[in-house]
């Protein structure tokens, strides 16, 4: 499911990983890969929720953003989503 974003917006996007974790497991680290042309800043990890602030982009272009996490039990998960930049 893509997210719509205006080129002038700077907003936080993220993922709650809780549903992916076994009992007692938590997210230990989170890294982001943001497609060229979109700017990602202020990555945060609060509990099992990883967020990043996305800004910029060119109207009419879709950008892929990927979050990779490692848990305290050594599991690794990666999920991507699409940012659809358009004049809103």
> pTM for this one?
0.92
First-to-final CA distance of the chain: 18
* Residues of the domain holding 70: 3-85
Among 29, 23, 12, 14, which residue's Cα sits nearest to residue 79? 14
At 29, which CATH number? 2.60.40
Nearest CA to 78 out of 25, 12, 32, 10 is that of 32
Query: Using one digit for the tens of pLDDT, what is the confidence trace for 23-80?
Result: 999 999 999 999 999 999 999 999 999 999 999 999 999 999 999 999 999 999 999 9
Output the pLDDT for position 65: 98
Count of CB atoms situated within 10 Å of the CB of 83? 21
Tally of domains within the chain: 1
């Amino acid at each position: 499911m893509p997210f719509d974003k205006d080129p002038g917006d700077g907003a936080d996007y993220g993922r709650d990983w809780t549903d992916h974790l076994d009992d007692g497991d938590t997210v230990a680290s989170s890294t982001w890969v943001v497609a060229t042309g979109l700017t990602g800043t202020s990555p945060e990890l609060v509990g099992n929720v990883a967020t990043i602030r996305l800004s910029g982009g060119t109207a009419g272009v879709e950008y892929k953003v990927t979050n990779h996490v490692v848990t305290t039990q050594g599991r690794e998960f990666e999920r991507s989503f699409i940012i659809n930049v358009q004049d809103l």
